[in-house]
Structure formats: structure tokens, C-alpha cells
């Protein structure tokens, strides 16, 4: 059970270049929503977001924790995953984190971990994610590729609460963009990426931060 006070302390989880992570930090700096970014968690030692934050004139003091998922010799995957998430949870607890914003984080969080952030008052996990499709279409990896290869005339981006399924949690906000006849895949994807930055900002502003 998460803490019951009125603090709204966020950890950002990211695995890649972190453009959406910076977007979230920008929103917090602009005071678009009433919360504090306490730390960033990544599972990749070479994640681009590490350089982005460490060299950023404003965000370079944000604590960054790199926690790779590595199995020890003879260790099963479930045991390794549980140990990995215990390490993460200890860090989050040290920063009194009670919300998590996923920004291109490529590890699936277990139901046991998510339960720690379940809020009984509104029956959702205090974990949000961005996904590059109009869910429930194209959950999981390579959503832009799937939408483009399927010839979809309209695609979009979804912000949702995370549950124990793969991109199946309650939807917070969805926005669409149209495919143009002359689009290459890069054109199509870039239009989606631009929408990602917009929709995450809107979702952070509109979210019921209980």
C-alpha cells in the first residue's frame, strides 16, 4: 500500500534516449502539475537519458540510478526479476516516491511490484505509461512499425495507468494523427513522436494526482 499523505513524489523510469523523460522534467519545472521529480531509474548503463541529465544545466542534480537486470549464476528468471525490483523499490522508498512515470522503460513491472503503488481510493496503480498506438491496438513492442505496415490511415498515442498486463491498463488520454499518402516510415514515426511530447504534457496536467 502506498503512503497516505498528500505528497506527490515522482520517479521517472527510462531505458533509452529519454526525450519523454526530459519532457516530464520540463513540465515539472514549469509547474504544470503539483508534484516533485525525485529521481530517475534506468536499466541501461548506456541509456542516452543519463548523458542528457548529467549535462543538462537545470536537471544535472537529479539523482540517477542504473539498475541493470542481470541474472546471477544458477538464478531463475523470476528470482532475478524479484531481486531486481527489490533493488528498485529500496531506492524509491528512500526518496518517498509514490508515483512512477514510465518514459520508454523497456522492462515489464511485475504485479507484485505494481501492488505497492495501488491506490484503493481510485482503484488504479500510481504508475503511468506512454504507448505509441491507439490502445488496445498494437500493444507491446514496435507499435509504430505495426501501425505503418498495416496501412492504418489514423494512428495515435495513448497515456494509461499501468496494470499487470502488457499495455492493458486504464486509459488516461488518447490522441490521433493521420497518415499521409506520401509518408515514409520515418515521416510517420516522427509525427507520432511529436504527438507523444504533447500528449504526455496534457496528461500530466489533467491527471487526478490523488
Q: Indicate the pairing of strand 124-125 with strand 154-161.
A: unpaired
Q: Among candidates 93, 88, 41, 46, which has minimal Cα distance to 65? A: 41
CA end-to-end span of the chain, whole Å?
A: 14
CA atoms within 13 A on the CB side of 207: 30
| CA atoms of 174 and 203, how far apart (whole Å) | 9
Catalytic choice (84, 95, 96, 131): 131
Helices then strands, each counted (H, E), the chain: 6, 9
Is residue 131 among the annotated active site residues? Answer: yes
- Provide the 10 A C-beta neighbour count for residue 89: 15
Bond before 136 cis per omega within 30 degrees: yes
Do 14 and 47 contact (CB within 8 A), yes or no?
yes
Task: Give the CA radius of gyration of the chain.
Answer: 17
| CA atoms of 144 and 156, how far apart (whole Å) | 9
Among all residues, which ones are annotated catalytic? 131
Amino acid at each position: 500500500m502506498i503512503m497516505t499523505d498528500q505528497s506527490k513524489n515522482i520517479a521517472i523510469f527510462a531505458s533509452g534516449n529519454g526525450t519523454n523523460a526530459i519532457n516530464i522534467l520540463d513540465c515539472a519545472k514549469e509547474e504544470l502539475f503539483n508534484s516533485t521529480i525525485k529521481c530517475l531509474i534506468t536499466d541501461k548503463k548506456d541509456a542516452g537519458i543519463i548523458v542528457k541529465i548529467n549535462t543538462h544545466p537545470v536537471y544535472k542534480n537529479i539523482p540517477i540510478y542504473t539498475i541493470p537486470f542481470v541474472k546471477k549464476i544458477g538464478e531463475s528468471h523470476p528470482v532475478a526479476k524479484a531481486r531486481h525490483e527489490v533493488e528498485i523499490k529500496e531506492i524509491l522508498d528512500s526518496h518517498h516516491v509514490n508515483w512512477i512515470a514510465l518514459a520508454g522503460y523497456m522492462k515489464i513491472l511485475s504485479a507484485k511490484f505494481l501492488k505497492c503503488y495501488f491506490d484503493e481510493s481510485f482503484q488504479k496503480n500510481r504508475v503511468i505509461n506512454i504507448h505509441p498506438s491507439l490502445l488496445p491496438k498494437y500493444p507491446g513492442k514496435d507499435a509504430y512499425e505495426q501501425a505503418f505496415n498495416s496501412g492504418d490511415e489514423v494512428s495515435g498515442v495513448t497515456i494509461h495507468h499501468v496494470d499487470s498486463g502488457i499495455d492493458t491498463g486504464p486509459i488516461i488520454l488518447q490522441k490521433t494523427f493521420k497518415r499521409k499518402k506520401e509518408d515514409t516510415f520515418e515521416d510517420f514515426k516522427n509525427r507520432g513522436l511529436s504527438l507523444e511530447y504533447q500528449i504526455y504534457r496534457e496528461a500530466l496536467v489533467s491527471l487526478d494526482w490523488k
